[in-house]
A and B are shown apart, each in its own frame.
Chain A
């Protein structure tokens, strides 16, 4: 129930907000903010409860299978079903011992296969699906499970669950929700629509992180699209309409490919299932050919969202044109939907591709592919950031650069690398959100973002400069701040890959190639700090700028504090994610040939 609340309270509030007359702006803002705070508290409760245990997906499905079997009247049929379940379980045990894999596993489901023409086919199918899901390696970490039939005709379920991978992202989303709504207090243009759309957006994003049914996931994924389109298109900068439609078409182009992959998997699963956990189990039997195309298709869908070079061109446009709060959500959590997709779908569903067992062409396999694009992202993004005159597009390109680390860490497939990648997603969520807020603060005063025209802000706005520097240094990766930990972990993981990789060992050369990115990042960030805050004031008007007000501090301070907290105490979050992440590594390790 908790997950449903966290997901749908914003949506319901959005409709409540729409029902409030537009003149009552204060009521609209407060309703939205209070709802966001409630959701944030609920998400915090989820985080707190998660470690406390509780029923995980394995136990839930085990119970459901038992209930299903109890309902079967015919004793003979029931015994056969029990045998099928036992066979599937036995199959899990033996596989774990011997690391054997392949379609032969499905021999275990023989009892169920016999049931093809049974009048009680529906029960057989459910038993099969749930038993398979129960055995998926990821199932043991998934808690707060909500499982209810939704569209029975196609075996689509309302299946929500959270694990160490998704919960931090959900928490981050709800946190940014609160901060962004507070920051948007000064929105005067169509306030009602703005707050309603923002809340709808939040439902979509949280839903994406929590959905464990592929169909449901896709629905949430698409739901994110339209609110963002309007937020950019209506409240954005001068070229907002171009940016909005570009965002729309790019993302949709990616997601339709995901749709095709979803259909392919659905039919390949044998008994038509959208249950992600079931698919994870079934995926072991997918042929290399199948995985090749699946991986490529999902890669494009997620790569556009991350964004990975060469699919990144929508991002600078969208970021630069979007209103500040939308940029924050875009960089903070929307990009993570892509990264999350790699963790949750690409890797577990195409383990052979992820392990580098399948050549992309020649001797170049998917591990090389991801690592290369990751390095390109890091270096190319940093170079582009260096060349920007516009403050906001500099931050946008820095996002491209930082998301490259996620790819590199994933490609390394060591414990450290994958942890670094996941942590980098979370940290980038904090630091990029902070940077966009920082840009927003100065833009609200100067009404321009040209870096060459700033200067000397430091003396005029000391508190602002302090917070801003903290944010920039977190993004730069200064030791003691959060960015450092994740980037270091990624590099360590990539370096160790030769020895410890669960998949194809990555050449340490990739680390060398990525290193210039670090130097370039330091360069553009320090240069920016210098251009904006130091030196003489380039305009008299800057003298009139007030320092940060309460609203801005309210949005910025929590992020700054968290950057420090996770910088000095990374295990707080690493321990939390550890189990879920090592599962991904193990799944891939199991298929490495």
Chain B
């Protein structure tokens, strides 16, 4: 925030004067733009897909989809070519607005891959055929752009902007099927609850700003160390801010929107919300927690974390929230009959497991060495493939049976064995059974929680795992043990390949997680402050 820090409050400055007084600013923006290439590609891509749509026929609704895939591929390419910045290379862009580090690049890769998996789902979704789809892809890419910002924000303004950017586009995409009553309802509920959550968050951010006099996360964290504010004020501020993140990751107590929105939104976008949006939410939560969530280096300093409410400190609060999130998600999922709704509750439960990983790491932030984000990131990778895979198969099945209710899956094992086996693997991965990535991922989360003394949380989490068997196994039962009507069908090669492509990472991560773990451990995390 160069101009904010340097320009005096009274003196008006014209743009020419800025050039004269700060000649290096312009050139530094130029160099920073190089590292900002993936975002720029997305920005141009948004315009591009809309233009493509304008110049194509209405029936040609897939065409902008291919272009969107191209944009995503290009963005992915720039990310990969940029590589993971090492600890020395990590730093800030645009004078401290945006972070450039391994963590951000990794999250962006994850988000882009997730979106790229959703795009073919959009292209083959039957309710989204024969429409003008340029806006849909434009909004989708816009949402991804907002999530890029969430993954790399280091200024409270960027926190706010990223979340809002990702949210507004999501609201519209949820209600995209204008003729559909469920979609309309889902959209309204999403926008209302979502705006309230971000309203609360921005109020929290304003208090944080007041306590520290800065918007830069590093400066805020530094200022908090010497602040004389009361611990309860700190924790209330943290909780107000947390509302925004909790909403994004659908964590208790801001989880209630998820089922309706998931059910109302078109299936591909539900998949996007449950995976990509959640991953972005965790990215920004981690950024927030790293800056404010732990005792300072000397272990004495005050931070947001040192506040207490009801004798609970910040890691314990996160642990309690994690417990509630996973338990509520799992218990509510037991009674669901709609696949999207069931996975909505299941995704709430998984937010709880992931939150467990965050809670586990909090006490170690600020200490020397890697605090250990790796279980959370690893689980996000696994979750991406298993949940998107489940939605992908559900969409194919729903298109065949014409229903998104669970009985539509009855006898799938006989009708379409490839789909059934694929969904079976995703389900056991969601339960957390070997030999899938769901097991190794959840195992790492449990391990991290146990290592950091959250023993009760671990017991609650494993109990939840047992509860979750009941509803996941119901789908397995429907597919293989129940008789279903309907013709058997041969899967097109494309769909078959897609299923295999998503199954392979799940098994790979389940059996040979070493390389992924090493990669994630080697990510640099720009130390802010």
> A contacts B directly in the complex (CB < 8 Å)?
yes
Q: Which residues of A contact B (CB under 8 A)?
A: 151-154, 218-219, 222-223, 225-226, 229-230, 233-234, 240-241, 244-245, 248-249, 252-253, 256-257, 259-260, 263-264, 266-267
Given contacts A245-B477, A264-B450, contact A222 B439 (CB under 8 A): yes
Q: Given contact pairs A223-B434, A244-B477, enumerate 12 new A-B contacts (beta carbons under 8 Å).
A: A151-B514, A151-B517, A154-B447, A219-B439, A222-B434, A233-B477, A245-B473, A252-B433, A252-B466, A256-B465, A259-B443, A263-B446
Q: Is A267 a contact of B451 with CB atoms below 8 Å? A: yes
Q: Is A152 a contact of B450 with CB atoms below 8 Å? A: no
- Rounded to whole angstroms, the CA-CA distance of A259 and B513 in the bound complex is 18
Which residues of chain B from 440 to 492 have any CB-CB distance to chain A below 8 Å in the complex?
443, 446-447, 450-451, 458-459, 462-463, 465-466, 469-470, 473, 477, 480-481
Given contacts A226-B428, A267-B451, contact A153 B458 (CB under 8 A): no
25 residue pairs bridging A and B, Cβ less than 8 Å apart? A151-B512, A152-B514, A153-B517, A154-B447, A154-B517, A222-B434, A225-B433, A226-B433, A229-B473, A233-B480, A233-B481, A241-B477, A245-B470, A248-B469, A248-B473, A252-B469, A256-B462, A256-B465, A257-B462, A259-B443, A260-B450, A263-B446, A263-B450, A264-B450, A267-B450
CB of A420 to closest CB in B, whole Å: 34
Size bracket, chain B contacts: 20 to 34
CB of B521 within 8 A of chain A?
A: yes
- Nearest residue, chain B, Cβ from A257: B462
Q: Is A253 a contact of B450 with CB atoms below 8 Å? A: no
Q: Is A256 a contact of B481 with CB atoms below 8 Å? A: no
Contacts of B178 in A (CB 8 A): none
A contact face: mostly helix, strand, loop, or mixed: helix
Q: Is A153 a contact of B466 with CB atoms below 8 Å? A: no
CB of A277 to closest CB in B, whole Å: 21
Contacts of B434 in A (CB 8 A): 218-219, 222-223
- Rounded to whole angstroms, the CA-CA distance of A226 and B481 in the bound complex is 13
Q: Is A249 a contact of B466 with CB atoms below 8 Å? A: yes
**A-contact 0/1 string along B508-524, CB 8 Å cutoff:** 00001110011001000
Q: Is A234 a contact of B480 with CB atoms below 8 Å? A: yes
Q: Is A230 a contact of B480 with CB atoms below 8 Å? A: yes
Contacts of B231 in A (CB 8 A): none
- Rounded to whole angstroms, the CA-CA distance of A315 and B465 in the bound complex is 22
Contacts of B439 in A (CB 8 A): 219, 222
Option from A153, A253, A267 in Cβ contact (under 8 Å) with B521: A153
Contacts of B458 in A (CB 8 A): 260, 263
Option from A151, A241, A256 in Cβ contact (under 8 Å) with B466: A256
- Rounded to whole angstroms, the CA-CA distance of A154 and B444 in the bound complex is 9
CB of A21 to closest CB in B, whole Å: 13
- Rounded to whole angstroms, the CA-CA distance of A233 and B478 in the bound complex is 11
CB of A311 to closest CB in B, whole Å: 14
CB of A593 to closest CB in B, whole Å: 28
Contacts of B463 in A (CB 8 A): 256
- Nearest residue, chain B, Cβ from A225: B433
Q: Is B459 a contact of A234 with CB atoms below 8 Å? A: no
Option from A151, A152, A219, A260 in Cβ contact (under 8 Å) with B459: A260
- Rounded to whole angstroms, the CA-CA distance of A253 and B470 in the bound complex is 12
CB of B435 within 8 A of chain A?
A: yes
Option from A219, A233, A249, A257 in Cβ contact (under 8 Å) with B469: A249
- Nearest residue, chain A, Cβ from B463: A256
Which residues of chain B from 42 to 92 have any CB-CB distance to chain A below 8 Å in the complex?
none
Contacts of A219 in B (CB 8 A): 434-435, 439
CB of A124 to closest CB in B, whole Å: 17
- Rounded to whole angstroms, the CA-CA distance of A158 and B487 in the bound complex is 45
Which residues of chain B from 367 to 395 have any CB-CB distance to chain A below 8 Å in the complex?
none
- Nearest residue, chain A, Cβ from B458: A260
Option from A225, A234, A264 in Cβ contact (under 8 Å) with B481: A234
* Inter-chain contact total with CB atoms closer than 8 Å: 72
Contacts of A256 in B (CB 8 A): 462-463, 465-466
- Rounded to whole angstroms, the CA-CA distance of A240 and B481 in the bound complex is 9
- Nearest residue, chain A, Cβ from B414: A190
- Rounded to whole angstroms, the CA-CA distance of A154 and B439 in the bound complex is 14
CB of A521 to closest CB in B, whole Å: 34
Given contacts A226-B428, A256-B462, contact A249 B470 (CB under 8 A): yes
CB of A361 to closest CB in B, whole Å: 20
Contacts of B446 in A (CB 8 A): 259-260, 263
- Nearest residue, chain A, Cβ from B453: A267
- Rounded to whole angstroms, the CA-CA distance of A223 and B446 in the bound complex is 20
- Rounded to whole angstroms, the CA-CA distance of A225 and B472 in the bound complex is 15
Contacts of A244 in B (CB 8 A): 477, 481
Contacts of B451 in A (CB 8 A): 263, 267
CB of B449 to closest CB in A, whole Å: 9
- Rounded to whole angstroms, the CA-CA distance of A266 and B446 in the bound complex is 12
Most buried by A among B458, B477, B517: B477
Most buried by B among A240, A260, A266: A260
Given contacts A222-B434, A245-B470, contact A263 B447 (CB under 8 A): yes
Q: Is A223 a contact of B435 with CB atoms below 8 Å? A: yes
- Rounded to whole angstroms, the CA-CA distance of A222 and B462 in the bound complex is 14
- Rounded to whole angstroms, the CA-CA distance of A587 and B470 in the bound complex is 41
- Rounded to whole angstroms, the CA-CA distance of A253 and B513 in the bound complex is 25
Contacts of B513 in A (CB 8 A): 151, 153
- Rounded to whole angstroms, the CA-CA distance of A240 and B428 in the bound complex is 20
- Nearest residue, chain B, Cβ from A153: B517
- Nearest residue, chain A, Cβ from B431: A252
CB of B442 to closest CB in A, whole Å: 9
- Rounded to whole angstroms, the CA-CA distance of A169 and B500 in the bound complex is 37
- Rounded to whole angstroms, the CA-CA distance of A230 and B473 in the bound complex is 11
- Nearest residue, chain B, Cβ from A256: B462
- Rounded to whole angstroms, the CA-CA distance of A38 and B162 in the bound complex is 62
CB of A14 to closest CB in B, whole Å: 13
Option from A226, A252, A263 in Cβ contact (under 8 Å) with B465: A252
Which 8 residue pairs of A and B lie closest in terms of their CB atoms, listed nearest first?
A256-B462, A153-B517, A219-B434, A263-B450, A253-B466, A233-B481, A222-B434, A151-B514
Most buried by A among B435, B469, B470: B469
- Nearest residue, chain A, Cβ from B428: A226
- Rounded to whole angstroms, the CA-CA distance of A256 and B446 in the bound complex is 11
- Rounded to whole angstroms, the CA-CA distance of A153 and B448 in the bound complex is 13
Which residues of chain B from 306 to 338 have any CB-CB distance to chain A below 8 Å in the complex?
none
CB of A551 to closest CB in B, whole Å: 27
- Rounded to whole angstroms, the CA-CA distance of A536 and B514 in the bound complex is 68
Contacts of B517 in A (CB 8 A): 151, 153-154
Contacts of A229 in B (CB 8 A): 473
Q: Is B521 a contact of A266 with CB atoms below 8 Å? A: no
- Nearest residue, chain A, Cβ from B518: A153
- Nearest residue, chain B, Cβ from A218: B434
Contacts of A260 in B (CB 8 A): 446, 450, 458-459, 462
Contacts of A222 in B (CB 8 A): 433-434, 439
Contacts of B443 in A (CB 8 A): 259
- Nearest residue, chain B, Cβ from A234: B481
- Nearest residue, chain B, Cβ from A152: B514
- Rounded to whole angstroms, the CA-CA distance of A233 and B447 in the bound complex is 33
Q: Is A153 a contact of B514 with CB atoms below 8 Å? A: yes
CB of A471 to closest CB in B, whole Å: 32
Contacts of B514 in A (CB 8 A): 151-153
CB of B431 to closest CB in A, whole Å: 8
**A-contact 0/1 string along B255-279, CB 8 Å cutoff:** 0000000000000000000000000
Contacts of A233 in B (CB 8 A): 477, 480-481
- Nearest residue, chain A, Cβ from B461: A256
Contacts of A257 in B (CB 8 A): 462
- Rounded to whole angstroms, the CA-CA distance of A272 and B470 in the bound complex is 33
- Rounded to whole angstroms, the CA-CA distance of A382 and B282 in the bound complex is 56
- Nearest residue, chain B, Cβ from A240: B481
**A-contact 0/1 string along B226-243, CB 8 Å cutoff:** 000000000000000000
